[in-house]
Copies of this chain bind each other. A is one copy, B any other.
Amino acid sequence: MSVSAKSMAPAEPVTLHQRIRADLEGKILSGEWKPGHRIPFEHELMVQYGCARMTVNKVIGGLVAAGLIERRRRAGSFVIQPRIQSAVLEIPDLSSEIAARGEAYGYRLLSRRLRVAAGTDLAESGMIAGEGVVELRCLHLADGRPFAVEDRLIALAVVPEAASVDFSQTAPGSWLLGHVPWTAAEHRISALAAGAREARDLDIAKGAPCLCLERRTFRAEQTITYARQLFRGDAYNLVARFSPKG
């Protein structure tokens, strides 16, 4: 912190690692090294930067992990061909999302039932027929105004504690996040028109467009929970960013 003004340049890399990495990344991202280009051998880079091979190796390893470079034994390391546009979609906890917007988060439990999974919820929720589930319906509020309505199923076979939790104060998403480790999740994003009930809960007109986020969370092969969150179309949008830097 000795320095005065750093302008907005976010502190240029100081360690050898970072300098080399930034250098190589720059060459790739600027297009100076096009996809398919063979980058210098580790041996050459080691001479060029005056460091040990291990250091170069570690840097290139990082670039491989970041999906920028591919390595082939005996042949060398090559700049990779970007194949699909993939973006990291960050799906935060609703309470922190709303807090981040500078609004007051509110939560209300609309209904809670213990029942057995059957019929319609099976296909989309991934629940197993005959399995005990907690069924919740709750409302998320921002500055007192309805923000999203959430329908959730929690599999009791995987999370038996959920049967005895009172969700009237804690949102099920937050509770699960803190209590149950998960290994995979699947999201589906769609747009649909608010039905009569959703319209009433969200305080919008029937038929108004809503953003619908469905999420199934797994642990190993078991479905832990299924959630369907319906957002007012005029009040929310998801943002995803992608940059090869990670």
Q: Quick check: A91 and B82 within 8 Å, CB to CB?
A: no
Most chain B C-beta atoms within 10 Å of own C-beta, residue among A91, A236, A246 = A91
A237 within 8 A of B: yes
Range class of the A interface residue count? 35 or more
Q: Is A231 an interface residue (CB 8 A)?
A: yes
Known: A87-B89, A181-B31, A209-B209. A188 touches B233 (CB 8 A): no
| Nearest chain B residue, comparing its CB with the CB of A218 | B243
Q: Considering only CB atoms, which chain B residue lies closest to A187 in the complex?
A: B240
- In the bound assembly, the distance between CA atoms of A220 and B188 in angstroms comes to 31
Number of copies: 2
* CB of A211 closer than 8 Å to a CB of B: yes
Closest to A240 in B: B187
| B92→A89 contact, CB < 8 A | no
Bound-complex Cα distance A178 to B187 (A): 29
Q: Assess the B241–A185 pair: CB atoms within 8 A.
A: yes
Give the residues in chain B near A141, CB-CB below 8 Å. Answer: none
Which residues in B have their C-beta under 8 angstroms from that of A210?
191, 209
Known interface pairs A189-B211, A209-B191, A210-B191; A86-B82 also in contact (CB < 8 Å): no
State how many angstroms separate the Cβ of A162 from the closest Cβ of chain B: 15
Kindly list chain B residues whose C-beta atoms are within 8 Å of the C-beta of A181.
Answer: 28-31, 34
Knowing A84-B92, A220-B30, A238-B188, the reply to whether A193 touches B211 (Cβ < 8 A) is: no
Contact B87 A185 (CB under 8 A): yes
A212 to B186, CA, bound (A): 20
Digit string of A158-194 for contact with B (CB within 8 Å is 1, else 0)? 0000000000000000000110110111111111110
Closest residue of chain B to A66 (Cβ to Cβ) is: B65
